[in-house]
Amino acid sequence: MGKDSESERLFNGWIRVKVPLPFALKWVNSYLIPEPDHAAYTLIDPGLHTEEALRAWERALFRHGIGLSDIRRIVLTHSHPDHYGLAGWFQERTGAPVLLTREAHRFAQRLWEGERVSASALTELFRRHGLPDELAEQMGPHQQNFVAQVSPGPNPVYIEPGDKLEMGGGLWQLIAAPGHASGGLCLYEPDRRWMICGDQVLPRITPNISLHPGEDPDPLASFMDSMEQLSRFHVEIAFPGHRDPFAGFAARAAELHAHHVRRLNEMELLLETETDAFGVCEASFGARLHGNIHNLRFAMAETLAHLVHLVRTGRAEEAAVGGRITFRRAKGRRTNGC
């Protein structure tokens, strides 16, 4: 990404900063929203804490004539590291409150603070579902690498779905956005019909839906319900966490719902013979997994989200033998999915 393309002023006066990421998505969108007095900004999703990201922020703030003291509030759509990671760093330097849901903060604490129980539990979950030991042993160090990239953690102020937030001259509705991340939010401004959607609805790429130990037992059901709910909002322009702002929000939400319906059907067909989640994962995602533990983690967790949903909806059966969990198509299900 060229240095001159890292930040831009959007049509509505907001500043988008493309904060670089060290993996396939390349960047995350951060938004600086000017407040009505034009002397302060709200920062949405500051990005991952890396040296490259800090240099990008230094250039962006200089280019647009913004000082750290001009950032008066930080709002997080969710607590995945590429959105949450720099929140504490900015808070320490600006004194700005960090706003996110209690559930999102709890999820971040489970992943990145204390005993980091979620990471170890996820590795063990993958082992039980067929992940070979040589790959499972890479999961812990991979998760550990993120700790520095989300530190220091913020001291947050909690906001919740149903709340309203005055921001950028408008009154925003806070909408629950489950499935992609625990405690996720979308923000909707009905007068201008703008939606800040984080990673819940993305153009051209599909948000990852992962099963995490101790979290939502059926995240795919939650996500698909969310797509149905969000498709009913009248949105002129959506501001996503990745890729460019886009129109056609309702249609995109419907497309994402349909994508997962197709993926469920495809995975059900793979269960004609008994297999484990790793086998389904390899068959579904193929060569994209080879040599990339980051992609494998997401693919395994997404495969499990779909398989669990198939079991919970009566389309598949789960069995545990000797600590290994397998799946097969439910008895009486025909090849056409009936």
Is residue 328 situated within a structural domain?
no
- Quick: pLDDT tens for 234-258: 999 999 999 999 999 999 999 999 9
CA distance 106 to 111: 9
pLDDT over 80 at 179, yes or no: yes
Residue 139 lies inside a defined structural domain of this protein: no
Q: In what order do the strands lie in the sheet with 41-44?
A: 7-9, 15-20, 27-34, 41-44, 71-75, 98-100, 156-158
Residue 89 has pLDDT above 90, yes or no: yes
pTM of the model: 0.94
DSSP lists the bridge partners of residue 16 as 8, 31
The arrangement of strands across the sheet holding 185-189 comes to: 164-167, 170-176, 185-189, 194-198, 237-240
The answer to whether 215 touches 182, Cβ cutoff 8 Å, is yes
* 331 has pLDDT over 70: yes
What are the beta bridge partners of residue 9?
15
Distance separating alpha carbons of residues 249 and 208, to the nearest angstrom? 18
pLDDT bin (cut points 50, 70, 90) of residue 289 is: confident
The contacts of residue 217 (CB under 8 Å, 6+ apart) are: 308, 312
Task: Tell me the one-letter amino acid at 334.
Answer: R
Domain membership flag for residue 277: no
Query: Does residue 138 lie in a domain region?
Result: no
Provide the β-strand partners of residue 116.
none
pLDDT tier for residue 139 given thresholds of 50, 70 and 90 = confident
Confidence of residue 335 (pLDDT cuts 50, 70, 90): low
- Three-class SS of residue 335? coil
Instruction: Report the alpha-carbon distance of residue 23 to residue 9 in Å, rounded.
Output: 25
d(CA 140, CA 115): 12
Note whether 106 and 72 are within 8 A (CB): no
What's the domain range around 245? 3-121+145-259
Q: How far apart are CA 36 and CA 278, in angstroms?
A: 52
Beta-carbon count within 10 A of 307 CB = 28
- The residue behind tokens 């004539």 is 65
**Mean pLDDT, rounded, for 75-96:** 98
Per-residue pLDDT of 159-175, as tens digits, reads 999 999 999 999 999 99
Residues with Cβ within 8 Å of residue 282, at least 6 apart in sequence: 289
Q: What is the pLDDT of residue 297?
A: 94
Q: Running DSSP on this structure, what letter comes out for residue 80?
A: -
What is the tally of structural domains in the chain? 1
Give the lowest-confidence range in 100-104, 130-134, 228-232, 290-294: 290-294
Q: What's residue 209's pLDDT?
A: 99
Residue 301 domain flag = no
Assigned domain for 44 exists = yes
Render pLDDT for 261-279 as a digit per residue (tens, 0 to 9): 999 999 999 999 999 999 9
- Asked, for residue 161, whether it belongs to a domain, the answer is yes
Confidence of residue 2 (pLDDT cuts 50, 70, 90): very low
Question: What CATH number is associated with residue 236?
Answer: 3.60.15.10
pLDDT at 144: 81
Residue 117 is predicted with a pLDDT of: 61
Amino acid 271: pLDDT: 98
pLDDT at res. 302: 98
Measure Cα distances from 269 to 229, 266, 320, 333 in Å: 29, 5, 20, 10
